[in-house]
Structure 1
Amino acid sequence: MKKAMKKLMAALLAVAMVCAMAIPAFAEGAGTAGTGTTYTITINNPVGTYEAYQIFSGDLHDGTLSNVTWGTGVSEAGKTALGDAKTKAASLNEANVKTFAEEVSSYLDATSGTYDAGKITGLSAGYYLVKNSSVGEHETYTSFILKVVKDVNVFPKGDKPTLEKKVKDINDTTDDTTSNWQDSADHDIGDEVPFQLTAKIASNFADYKTYKFVFHDVQSAGLDFLEDTVKVKVGGTELTADQYEVITTGLTDGCTFHVVIEDLKQIRSAAADAKVVVEYKSKLNKNAVIGSKGNPNEAYLEYSNNPYDTHGTTTTPNDKVTVFTFKVIANKIDGATTKALEGAAFALYKKDKAGDWNLVALNNATESAAGEYTIVDKDKTTFEWVGLDDGTYKIKEVITPAGYNTIDEQIFTVTAEHDVTSEDPKLTSLSGIATIGEIQFTPDTSKGSLSTNIENNRGTTLPGTGGIGTTIFYVVGGGLMVAAAVLLITKKRMENR
């Protein structure tokens, strides 16, 4: 029943007629059309397929249609409801022809002519209403007024909205503010990531009785939508909460949320070609995918596509942005043997714009209120910090393996590059460069990782009991005793003299 109603309402998508008191006719030129003469409507840049309904018929002479009667495209019920054809035709003008097109569209009967490749051929003299019989995916029904005289060329007065989804990036170490809106970004886990949806209202907005916009947004598992951050603007004017609705529950289309504007015709700032902008934030969480696959976020717009059907809608294609995040892997080894070394713990810090170091995370240690560290796993040799973005970092060894020297603090910069203008953004490069220290990283763009070895070297060995050191002490001590004895004997001899 719903589909049948939709087809019926599609008939209201009129390619209607602008007329005066005398009805202009299909005529190849001045004079009287001969019996059997047919005419053609050529539709430029057609959208979908079209069909024609003869609304008025009559006698064609010198470009004028006289003795007007209802055409074959009007049903018997329509003829009764609409009244005398000659009277109705004479009453039409540019101000009311659109209303008439809506009215007569409720009483359409047989089509006329044959449609193929943008042309409706085989039309006899008369006055026709032309409409879409179908439209393709993501397309709108046309709604244009046309004046038909002889063979005619017409241009559909249809338009469709567009949708763009964007995201912002920031380097916490170097930047005070976020980047411009773009197609990709990299963020730390825990960051609140800014997103933007921008749609353009169709140019034939005025032709619609109602105009619905629904923003459909699909978040990946690594992003938590923050509903209270949503802001909506139409034509630059921010809407109040009662002018739109954010829906997060009961959705069956796989979306995370919808932002619904039920009827833009009720929004004062809405107009043809005006922008409707939705901005919000999502938090990058611990489920975030690390590396080149990233964390995609897609959206599409559902919108009214039938000027005379208050229920007909279609959608734009999906638009996608991607948020990337990375990890650092440190392997603890003995500097002399390069074997894995146990008993260490580290802290990772990130530098902010003010130059301060902020703790990212301890690894393999807990810290007491007094600032003392306790190791968690004494056998651990590999350390990971997951969910990092670009910026400057510092690794500090907070617990050192017994018998080894503590490493100097290692400071390095993470740099990432990714497509910022792409329908399918990719991570293109990743690097970690030491600025203080000797740390060296091996990047893996696919895995989004920067791997390094952190070496510890043993401390200096002091002499111990029973070793060569004891012998040295014995030799030196014995020599001193002999020398003292010699001096004592010499002194006594001198005194006896």
Structure 2
Amino acid sequence: MKKMRKIFAVLLTLAMVLGMSMTSFAADKNTITISGKGLDAEGAGASYGQIIKENRKSTLGWQFASDDIANKFVEAWNKANKPETTLDANGVIAKLIQLGVLESDANENKNVEAGTINASTNLSAALAAVTSAATNNLDLANGADVSTTGKGLYIVTAHSNGYTYLPMAAYMNTNGDNVAVVAKGAKDQLNKKVAESGQSVAPGDEVNYTIDEEYLYIAPNANPKTFTITDTLTNGKFKENSVKVVLKDSINATTGKELVADTDYKINTYANGTDLTVDFSNHYNSAYAGKIVVITYTAIAGEVTTAAPLTNNAHSSNGTGKIVEVKPVSFKVIKVNKDNTNEKLPDAEFQLYKKANEGDANAVSLTLDNKTTVYGIPVGNVIKTDANGEASVNNLDAQATYYVKETKAPNGYSLNDFAYQLRGADVQSAGTITKTEDNVTYTIQTYTYTNFTDITVKDSKLSALPSTGGIGTTIFTIAGCVIMIAAAGLFFASRKKTNK
């Protein structure tokens, strides 16, 4: 009986050990998982394919998955950085072992860590040459099971609308440990912003712009490497020495590294011109890939109108761009008879002023209709009301402060000595549309303000001099004439008597 109990206890122990091991046996292994920016979007996907597999009959323990992959991989490896010695397939595998990408007896590397592909320009270039080997779909949420017999190096590619990714390497070790890789990708979207104060313009205004875009990922074997950001102005000119380029770790970073012209990028002669190009191509730095390039600069508005706004057409070599349009507004002054507002008065003259500070050059003192004293600088020529008693002024900055004051009243009317502030120019929602032109997809954003509210200025009619109640001058004139006639008659009568 005791022996049976012992045997039963041993069997129970074995059952417990087996039960505790079940979760380990059931654990997912031999799985590649991928994460990264943009891969949570609808339609995003990834693929993988084996490029190096086990060959324990080889002295190195590895071989390329096919001759085609070997030829492409090795050729790209040798072209990168132009090494002094041209390697064959085994030589490249030996380099991968040396880099810690593949295992060896002396190197028990388990997995390629995220970002390892950027540690070797040769490996990056070689991976870019064999992307066609990634023919198996990879589940972005759960990874993809890889056969337990498929130990070796895999290429992983990712795609998501609006993003560009570099190919990645994933190493499945001989233990079958799971592999996690992070997709290195940059968003293919150039963003352009106009400073809030520049959402409406008048001729001569300075407007500040900001462009931000992720520094592009470009394969090491790409020739040429092309990364440019270009902006073209319509109805304006670029201000000299206004361009500044800063590299940030993220779009929300408050500080960054200011890049240097002719070291980190090249810039064209843009002063007083309409074309600006910041070119990173010949100064491309893969260490910057994925970070945010922020370009700021200033434009000076030309003779802009509502029909001809200040327009910036910015685009990147990645095929995306943004067009920003900002427009001026107008206002109307109406002159009426104070006692009969339906009577419009022509030939009244007004002057427009832009808000200034006391002591500014050409600033004059103005008294508003609420008796407040302000200062303004004259803008433009004299405004004169037409036959309908109206005068319009166009091409004003909706975000500026203006005053208007009567400088000459119509004949027969008094001068209104108060100045009036222009109000009512409210911003409308900035509409956006998309268009494709010359293989570039643009987002177009137009800022629009309502016009300033019409201003009605009332003048009082001048009256004739009132009667004082006297007898007038007629009687005195008649009396004077009678006296003169009588005097003349007496003069001639006295001469006749003398002659006798």
Residue 164 of structure 2 aligns with an amino acid whose one-letter code is: T
Give runs of aligned pairs for residues 39-58 of structure 1, distance below 5 A.
40-45=31-36, 46=39, 48-58=45-55
Contact 1:197 1:277 in 2 (8 A): yes
Alignment of 1:58-457 (within 5 A): 58=55, 68-72=62-66, 74-75=68-69, 77=71, 83=88, 85=90, 88-89=93-94, 92-94=97-99, 98=120, 101-102=123-124, 105=127, 108=130, 111=133, 114-118=136-140, 119-120=143-144, 123=147, 124-132=149-157, 135-149=159-173, 150=176, 152-160=178-186, 163-168=190-195, 185-201=199-215, 212-217=226-231, 219=233, 221=234, 223-226=235-238, 228-235=240-247, 236-237=257-258, 239-240=260-261, 243-246=265-268, 257-265=276-284, 271=288, 276-289=293-306, 297=312, 299-302=314-317, 314-315=318-319, 318=322, 323-337=326-340, 338-354=342-358, 356=363, 357-364=376-383, 379=387, 381-386=389-394, 387-412=396-421, 414=423, 418=427, 446=450, 448-457=451-460
Seen in structure 2, the aligned counterparts of structure 1 residues 343 and 322 have a Cα distance that, compared at 3 Å, is same
Q: Give the residue type in structure 1 aligned to 2:281.
A: E
State the Cα distance separating 1:164 from its structure 2 match.
Answer: 4.3
Query: In 2, are the aligned partners of 1:52 and 1:120 still within 8 Å (CA)?
Result: no
- Aligned residue for 2:97, secondary structure, equals coil
Going from structure 1 to structure 2, the CA distance change for 1:72 and 1:275 (only over 3 Å counts) comes to: closer
**Aligned counterparts of 2:73 and 2:186: Cα–Cα separation in 1:** 35
With normalisation by structure 2, the TM-score equals 0.58
Name the SS of the counterpart of 2:347 in structure 1: coil
Q: 1:324 to 1:135 in 2, by over 3 A?
A: same
Number of the residue aligned with 1:180: none
Deviations 1:48-67 (A, max 9, x none): 4424133224369xxx9985
- Counterpart of 1:114 in structure 2: which amino acid? N
Alpha-carbon distance in 2 for matches of 1:113, 1:346? 76
Q: Separation in 2 of the partners of 1:330 and 1:87? A: 81
Point out the structure with the larger helix share. Answer: 2
Unaligned runs of 5+ in 1: 1-28, 32-37, 171-183, 249-254, 303-313, 366-376, 428-444, 464-468, 482-497
Letter in 2 for 1:72: S
Secondary structure of 2:330's aligned partner: strand
Change (3 A) 1:104 1:322: closer
Q: Which position in structure 1 is the counterpart of 2:15? A: none
Sort the Cα spacing of 1:154 and 1:360 in 2 relative to 1 into closer, same or farther, 3 A. Answer: same
Cα distance per residue 1:151-172 (max 9 Å; x no partner): 63422341316754333355xx
SS state at 1:228 partner: coil
Q: Is the 8 A contact 1:73 1:112 kept in 2?
A: no
Instruction: Report if the CA contact (8 A) 2:402-2:422 is conserved.
Output: yes
Aligned pairs, number? 369
Letter in 2 for 1:56: K
Amino acid at match of 1:92: I
1:440 corresponds to: none
Deviations 1:381-432 (A, max 9, x none): 32122213345433232332111111123232546564899986766xxxxx
Q: Structure 2 stretches of 5 or more lacking a match?
A: 1-22, 76-86, 103-119, 248-256, 364-375, 433-444, 480-500
Helix, strand or coil for the counterpart of 1:449? coil
CA distance in 1, matches of 2:462, 2:73: 106
Q: Secondary structure at the match of 1:348?
A: strand
Larger Rg: 2
Alpha-carbon separation, structure 1, partners of 2:92 and 2:404:
90
CA contact (8 A) 2:332 2:453 kept: yes
Q: Name the CA shift for 1:233/1:420 in 2 (closer, same or farther; >3 Å).
A: farther
Cα pair distance change 1:264/1:343, threshold 3 Å: same
Shift of 1:347: 1.1
- Shift of the 417–321 alpha-carbon distance from structure 1 to 2, 3 Å rule, reads farther
Alpha-carbon distance, 1:213 to partner = 3.5
